[in-house]
């Protein structure tokens, strides 16, 4: 009986993404983001941020528990905002808040702010968007002139078509492919808005 209930709950949780993510954060599934196997990806993203923009404002869309903020050189930034639709992820990120860094619960498909940013990062989050191009277009309105998107995606079944869509609509400034010792690889790309 217990196994049937557990299987039923698993199916119910997996069908509702917000509840699934909350459950996964509570059970520690996302704790691996801080593991050394993900260090290169976060370091590349942080390096791109520092290289392309100094004294920048940054928005981290899908920040989870704020792992990227651990890799950033804070003197390069005037403002850092992390959003994630997981309340549990944001709760875990809150201790990293300081005078320039804050975290808030927000769904990338709906979140709006009057703030403008020099850098908007989608680190392993864009493929969870309802419509990836619509999300980018909406966030484009929150980029300062000359602002950039930094997008990281794990090699998934739909990644090639997502990259093709993005590269058709935005100018690529740089890209890096990262592979960890387990053969998992990511592409990290920097984009500018085409005029």
Domain presence at residue 27: no
Q: Over the stretch 141-165, which tens digit does the pLDDT of each residue have?
A: 999 999 999 999 988 777 899 999 9
**Six token digits for residue 81:** 């905002």
Domain presence at residue 4: no
Query: Which CATH number covers residue 68?
Result: 3.40.50.150
Domain presence at residue 16: no
Domain presence at residue 78: yes
- Domain encompassing residue 183: 32-193
Q: Over the stretch 162-192, which tens digit does the pLDDT of each residue have?
A: 999 999 999 999 999 999 888 888 999 999 9
Angle at alpha carbon of residue 170, lines to 147 and 179, rounded to 5°: 90
Domain presence at residue 10: no
Cα distance between residue 24 and residue 13, in whole Å: 9
Q: Show contacts of 9-16: CB within 8 Å, 24+ apart.
A: none
Percent of the chain at pLDDT > 70 equals: 83
Contact predicate 56/118, CB 8 Å: yes
pLDDT reading at 20 higher than 60: yes
In eight-state DSSP terms, residue 95 is: G
pTM for the whole structure: 0.84
Contact predicate 186/154, CB 8 Å: yes
Cα distance between residue 112 and residue 138, in whole Å: 9
Cα distance between residue 25 and residue 33, in whole Å: 11
Cα distance between residue 175 and residue 189, in whole Å: 4
Domain presence at residue 138: yes
- pLDDT grade for 12, boundaries at 50, 70 and 90: very low
Domain presence at residue 5: no
Domain presence at residue 7: no
Cα distance between residue 115 and residue 130, in whole Å: 23
Domain count, the chain: 1
Q: Closest Cα partner for 148 from 38, 52, 45, 63? A: 52
Cα distance between residue 79 and residue 183, in whole Å: 35
Q: Which residues contact 146 (CB under 8 A, 6 or more apart)?
A: 118, 192
């Amino acid at each position: 009986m217990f196994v049937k209930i557990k299987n039923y709950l698993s199916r119910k949780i997996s069908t509702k993404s917000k509840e699934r993510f909350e459950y996964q954060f509570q059970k520690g599934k996302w704790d691996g983001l801080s593991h050394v196997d993900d260090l290169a990806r976060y370091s590349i993203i942080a390096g791109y941020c520092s290289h392309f923009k100094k004294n920048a404002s940054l928005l981290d869309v899908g920040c989870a528990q704020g792992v990227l903020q651990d890799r950033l050189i804070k003197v390069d930034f005037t403002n850092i905002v992390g959003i994630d639709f997981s309340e549990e992820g944001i709760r875990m990120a809150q201790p990293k808040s300081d005078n320039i860094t804050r975290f808030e619960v927000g769904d990338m498909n709906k979140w709006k702010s009057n703030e403008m940013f020099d850098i908007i990062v989608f680190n392993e989050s864009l493929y969870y968007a309802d419509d990836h191009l619509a999300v980018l277009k909406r966030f484009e309105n929150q980029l300062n002139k000359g602002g950039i998107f930094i997008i990281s995606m794990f090699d998934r079944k739909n990644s090639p078509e997502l990259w093709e869509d993005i590269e058709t609509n935005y100018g690529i400034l740089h890209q890096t492919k990262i592979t960890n010792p387990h053969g998992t690889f990511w592409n990290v790309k920097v984009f500018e808005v085409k005029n």
